[in-house]
Amino acid sequence: MANAERLNRVAEADSTFRRDGTLWVGKCLICNGPIAFDARNGEGATLEHIRARGRGGDSGPENLGIVHGRCNAEKGRRWDPKRRRDDGEYEAFVNRLLDRRRQRWRDPDGAPRR
């Protein structure tokens, strides 16, 4: 699936996001700050695997969040295996993000069609 299409799917399933013309406007899953991306090409946001695939995370919408490129990069640096902190800390961080994702959950089938 193309990156823009996957971003659209996740935005549909995240209640902080709404459509504004060609943009999706919502909140970054990591920093909670405002974020917007172009629905046609995905420009302006990156897709984040909350639990990294290398740590058993899948690519289901519950494990995907829309984040700033800088937040994604920061998370990557912080949890780089070469500089890994203890696993308990990683688990707590991932669980906080998964909780936030669940709190924002919106059933895509129940969302208004455009």
Residue numbers at the binding site for Zn ion (CB under 5 A): 28, 30-31, 68, 71
Q: Of 31 and 92, which CB lies nearer to Zn ion in the complex structure?
A: 31
- Tell me the closest approach of the beta carbon of residue 32 to Zn ion, in angstroms: 7
Q: Cα(24)–Cα(44) distance, rounded to whole angstroms? A: 10
CB-wise, 68 or 100, nearer to Zn ion? 68
Closest distance of CB 29 from Zn ion, Å: 8
**CB 3 to Zn ion: min, Å:** 18
Can you point out the beta strands (E) in 5-91?
18-20, 23-27, 34-38, 46-49, 64-67
**Residues near 74 by Cβ (< 8 Å), separated by ≥ 6?**
30
- Tell me how far apart the alpha carbons of residues 62 and 64 are, in angstroms, rounded to a whole number: 6
- Is the Cβ of residue 73 or residue 107 nearer to Zn ion in the bound state? 73
